Copies of this chain bind each other. A is one copy, B any other.
Amino acid sequence: MSETRGRIVSATTELFRSQGFNHTSLKQVTAQAGAPTGSIYHFFPGGKNELGAAVVRESGAAYQALFEVMADEADDIVDAVGGFFDGAAEVLEQTDFIDICPIGNVAREVANTHEPIRLATVEVFAGWTAALADRLARAGLNADDAGGLADTVISALEGGFMLARARRSCDGLRATGAHMRRLVEAALAGDLE
């Protein structure tokens, strides 16, 4: 409805990307969004926690939509997985290693301290792994194996982000993507057990 709400959410998303949840202040949000404090509390009466949860949910949904589009365009699920890692590496390099997944940032920060936001991250991860597992199952994997493999790919992606950003190099992330590609390939070929 209101475009102000959208500006607040996207400004906060950007700030979470580069500084995480705890290091982002509402003053920074108001400055970057060009919105006053009152508007934040108008749209998010629960304050920073509610805003944080909304950011996690909405940008989580956006990433999932992006994955679906890329997977639809790819030749098969193997290429889709490999392409997602390569695409992420490219974006990371182009943005000077700032444009990292904000959900992963927040997830490790709040898991023990901000229960409502933790639940939002769980929802997002569940959506991602379900979307990937579904495509793996449609490619021929049984449901159990598809779930475990999806968890592995998402774990490697998030951990790869962490390593790439710390090092300011995407070499490891690309190598990880290549290994995930290989892993999916082998699983679909029936080499899993």
Contact = CB atoms under 8 A, between A and B. Distances in A.
A166 B122 contact: yes
Given A151-B176, A152-B179, A156-B156, A104 B19 contact: no
Contact of A148 (B118, B125, B178): B178
Contact of A113 (B23, B148, B154, B173): B23
A163 B122 CA distance: 8
A93 interface: no
Nearest to A129: B172
Contacts of A18: 112-113
A60 to B, nearest CB: 12
A188 interface: no
Contact of A172 (B104, B151, B163, B179): B151
Contact of A152 (B104, B122, B154, B156): B156
In which size bucket is the chain A interface? 35 or more
Kindly report how many copies of this chain are found in the complex they form together: 2
The 9 nearest A-B residue pairs measured at CB: A159-B159, A148-B175, A151-B172, A155-B159, A22-B22, A158-B159, A155-B160, A152-B176, A152-B179
23 contacts: A20-B108, A22-B22, A22-B23, A97-B112, A105-B109, A107-B165, A108-B162, A118-B166, A121-B166, A122-B167, A125-B163, A125-B167, A129-B172, A148-B172, A148-B179, A149-B179, A151-B160, A151-B175, A155-B155, A155-B156, A155-B172, A155-B173, A156-B176
A111 B166 contact: yes
Most B C-beta atoms less than 10 A away, residue of A148, A158, A159, A172: A159
A186 interface: yes
Most buried by B among A105, A152, A158, A165: A152
